[in-house]
Chains A and B, each alone.
Chain A
Amino acid sequence: MANPGYGQINSKSGNLYPYARLADDQGQGLAIPRDYRSSYLSGLGYGKLLDWTYVPLEDYKHTSTENKIADMMLNTGLKYTLNKAFHLDLKYQYERQQSTANTLQDEDSYFARNLVNLYSQIAGPVASVTYKVPPGGVMDMSNTLLNSHSFRSQLNFDHTRGKHEVTALLGAETRHSGSSSNGRRTYGYNKLTLGSGNVDQTATYPSLVTGERTFIPGGDAFYGTTRRYISAFGNGAYTYNSKYTLNLSVRRDASNLFGVSTNERWTPLGSAGISWNLSEEPFYKSDFLPYLKLRGTYGFSGNSDPGMTGVTTIEYQNTSPYTLMPSARFDNYANPEVRWETVRMLNMGLDFYTRNRRLSGSLEYYTKNGKNLFARSPLDYTAGIGNSILRNVASMKGRGVDFDLTSLNTTGTLRWTTNWNLSYNKDRIEDYYPESLRGSTFLQTDAGISGVKGKPVYSVFSFPWAGLDPATGDPRGYLAGAVSKSYNELTGLNNLVSDLSYHGSALPVFFGSVGNTLSYKNFSLSARLSFKANYYFRAKSIEYGALFASWNGHSDYSARWQKPGDEAVNQIPSIVYPAVSNRDAFYKFSEELVERGDHVRLQYVNFSYTLGGSLLKRLLLKDMSVYVNLNNAGILWRANKKGIDPEYINSAFNLPPAKSVTAGLRANF
Chain B
Amino acid sequence: METKKYILTGLLAIAITISGCEKFLDAKPDHKLAVPETLTDLQALLDNYSVLNTSESSSGEVSGDDYYLTPDVWAALASEDHKRMHTWQKDLLFTTQLNDWHYGYRRVYYCNSVLEQLSGAVGSAADHQNVEGQAFFHRGRTFLQMAWLWSLAWDAKTADTEPGIPLRMNSDFNETSRRASIRDSYEQIISDLKAAARLLPVTSLHPMRPSKPAAYAMLARTYLSMGEYVQAGSYADSCLRLKSELLDYNNLNAADTYPVPQFNAEVIFDSYTPPPAPLSMSRARITDALYQSYAADDLRKTIFFRNNNNGTFAFKGSYDQIPLFMGIAADEVYLIRAECYARAGNTVDALKDLNVLLIKRWKKNTFTPLTAATSVAALNLVLSERRKELLMRGLRWSDLKRLNREGAAISLSRAVNNQVYVLEPNDLRYALPIPEEVISLTNMTQNRR
A-to-B contact residues, CB < 8 Å: 82-83, 85-86, 88, 90, 151-155, 170-174, 176, 204, 206, 210-213, 223-228, 230, 232, 254-259, 262, 265, 311-317, 320, 322-323, 325-331, 333, 335-337, 378-387, 389, 436, 438, 488, 492-493, 545, 548-549, 578-582
Contacts and interface: CB of A to CB of B under 8 A. Distances in A.
B177 interface: yes
24 contacts: A82-B3, A83-B2, A85-B3, A86-B7, A153-B16, A155-B14, A170-B14, A206-B257, A210-B322, A213-B262, A223-B30, A223-B32, A228-B29, A230-B24, A315-B32, A316-B33, A320-B49, A322-B53, A322-B208, A323-B49, A328-B36, A381-B102, A381-B438, A436-B440
B321 A311 contact: no
Contacts, number: 243
Contacts of B47: 320, 323, 325-328
B408 interface: no
Contacts of A204: 262
A205 to B, nearest CB: 12
B29 A225 contact: yes
A256 B24 CA distance: 8
A152 B322 CA distance: 60
B43 interface: yes
B113 A330 contact: yes
B78 interface: yes
Nearest to A234: B14
A316 B105 contact: no
B33 A385 contact: no
Contact of B13 (A153, A255, A256, A320): A153
Interface in B338-392: none
Nearest to A309: B35
A232 B18 contact: yes
Interface in B1-45: 2-3, 6-7, 9-11, 13-14, 16-18, 21-22, 24-36, 40-41, 43-45
Contacts of B97: 381, 386-387
Interface string B71-100: 000011111100000000000100001000
Nearest to A255: B25
A82 B437 contact: no
Among A86, A384, A387, the most chain B Cβ lie within 10 Å of the Cβ of A384
B106 interface: yes
B17 A153 contact: yes
Interface stretch (B153-161, B167-175, B231-239, B241-249): B167-175
Contacts of B40: 326
Nearest to B434: A382
Contact of A327 (B35, B44, B440): B44
Task: Report the interface size class on chain B.
Answer: 35 or more
A337 B7 CA distance: 43
Contact of B171 (A88, A312, A493): A312
A257 B13 contact: no
Contacts of B3: 82-83, 85-86
Contact of B80 (A226, A322, A548, A580): A580
B112 to A, nearest CB: 8
Given A256-B29, A380-B438, A230 B173 contact: no
Given A83-B2, A258-B33, A323-B205, A488 B92 contact: yes
Nearest to A379: B173
A257 B29 contact: yes
A338 to B, nearest CB: 10
Contact of B173 (A151, A265, A384): A384
Contacts of B27: 226, 228, 256
Contact of A173 (B17, B31, B75, B168): B17
A86 B13 CA distance: 14
7 closest A-B pairs by CB: A384-B109, A211-B257, A82-B6, A155-B10, A383-B173, A224-B31, A328-B44
Given A82-B7, A258-B33, 15 more contacts: A83-B2, A86-B7, A172-B14, A172-B18, A228-B24, A255-B25, A259-B33, A320-B208, A327-B47, A329-B48, A329-B51, A380-B438, A383-B175, A383-B177, A436-B441
A578 B29 contact: no
Nearest to B21: A230
Given A258-B33, A488-B92, A314 B44 contact: yes
A582 B44 CA distance: 40
B138 to A, nearest CB: 12
A548 B14 CA distance: 63
A389 B173 CA distance: 10
B257 A578 contact: no
B124 to A, nearest CB: 16
A189 to B, nearest CB: 28
Contacts of A493: 436-437, 440
Given A174-B21, A381-B102, A316 B80 contact: no
Interface in B205-248: 205-206, 208-209
Contacts of A325: 43-44, 47, 205
Nearest to A229: B25
Nearest to A381: B102
Contacts of B250: none
B176 interface: yes
A223 B31 contact: yes
Among B176, B258, B440, the most chain A Cβ lie within 10 Å of the Cβ of B440
A256 B321 CA distance: 46
Contact of A226 (B9, B28, B173): B28
A328 B34 contact: yes
Nearest to A389: B173
A328 to B, nearest CB: 4
Nearest to B321: A212
Contacts of A327: 44-45, 47-49
A548 B30 contact: no
Nearest to B11: A155
A329 B105 CA distance: 15
Nearest to A151: B17
Contact of A225 (B31, B36, B206, B257): B31
Contact of A378 (B75, B106, B441): B441
B101 interface: yes
Given A314-B41, A326-B44, A212 B205 contact: no
B102 A256 contact: no
Nearest to B107: A384
Contacts of A438: 440
Among A155, A336, A488, the most chain B Cβ lie within 10 Å of the Cβ of A155
A313 B35 contact: yes
A147 to B, nearest CB: 13
Contacts of B29: 225-228, 255-258
B421 to A, nearest CB: 17
Nearest to A487: B80
A582 B92 CA distance: 11
B413 interface: no
Nearest to A172: B17
Contacts of A337: 174
Contacts of A258: 28-30, 33
Contacts of B441: 378-380, 436
A618 to B, nearest CB: 48
B46 to A, nearest CB: 9
Given A265-B25, A328-B48, A549-B78, A323 B206 contact: yes
B432 interface: no
A314 B28 contact: no
Nearest to A86: B6
A385 B36 CA distance: 16
A637 to B, nearest CB: 41
B314 interface: no
Given A213-B321, A383-B109, A155 B13 contact: yes
Contacts of B45: 314, 327-330
B34 A313 contact: yes
A88 B34 contact: no
Contact of A315 (B22, B25, B30, B166): B30
Given A225-B29, A384-B105, A578-B77, A322 B173 contact: no
